[in-house]
Amino acid sequence: MSISYLNNLNWSDWTREERFFCSCLYEQVNSDPAALVRLINSETSLNLKENVYWDIGYEVCLYRDYQWHRASSPIGASQYSQKRTFDLCLFSEDTIVIIEAKAFGRFSEEDGNKLARDRKQIPELLAKPNLKVCTVALASSIYFENHGKYGKPDILDAFDARLTWHALFKTYHNALFEQADKLYKSLPTFA
């Protein structure tokens, strides 16, 4: 089935929104987050522990929700951003992996500045000074290729590793990940 006013396509064929693709990734790996950890290790140099319990979160409002559960301070009265949201997070007892994703767009200097603050604030918030906070940039393979040629070199410095939608497609064979990989700087298909 398809929708006539969407050029006889489905919405999933049209969207450029990384939250949509992140939700697909969350659904793909929710039953086995350690599989994503293994993929990250195979594609990057993070060397995350594979044989420990991992949990995954989607659209994670860590500061807000942690403080609410701990009743540590009234909402809005904290030094931590109540609206800060991470696309995906992997949680183990001694590590949090923040995955920030882009599909059509690109990362900014502001993204890097926020992640630098998060790297300091999260262990402080959780009262775990030895907690390892890793950051992964998830984007199109085209974006990373172009960034190497034309981008500002320090934009991606805040990230510990890079992962592509194409690597996810090769692993999970989900066509939506291949679609996400091809979106960067693409042109509209319906005029």
Q: What DSSP designation does 72 have?
A: -
What is the model's pLDDT at position 190? 58
- Report pLDDT digits (tens) over 26-46: 999 999 999 999 999 999 999
What is the model's pLDDT at position 80? 79
Contact 96, 132 (CB under 8 A): yes
Look-up of token digits 């990230």: 159
Contact 26, 18 (CB under 8 A): no
The whole-number average pLDDT for the span 74-96 is 86
Give the phi and the psi of residue 44 in degrees, each rounded to 5.
Answer: -135, -175
Return the structure tokens found at 107. 């990362």
What is the model's pLDDT at position 76? 58
What is the model's pLDDT at position 96? 98
Look-up of token digits 């200097």: 109
Contact 32, 56 (CB under 8 A): no
- Report pLDDT digits (tens) over 109-167: 999 999 999 999 999 999 999 999 999 999 999 999 988 888 777 889 999 999 999 99
82: pLDDT confidence band, cut at 50, 70 and 90? confident
Q: What is the DSSP string of 124-149?
A: HHHT-TT-EEEEEEEE-HHHHHHHHH
Contact 59, 24 (CB under 8 A): no
- Report pLDDT digits (tens) over 47-68: 999 999 999 999 999 988 888 8
Return the structure tokens found at 153. 């070199």
Residue ranges per structural domain of the chain = 16-182
Contact 152, 126 (CB under 8 A): no
What is the model's pLDDT at position 156? 93
The whole-number average pLDDT for the span 95-101 is 98
What is the model's pLDDT at position 73? 59
β-bridge pairing 86-91 and 55-60 = antiparallel
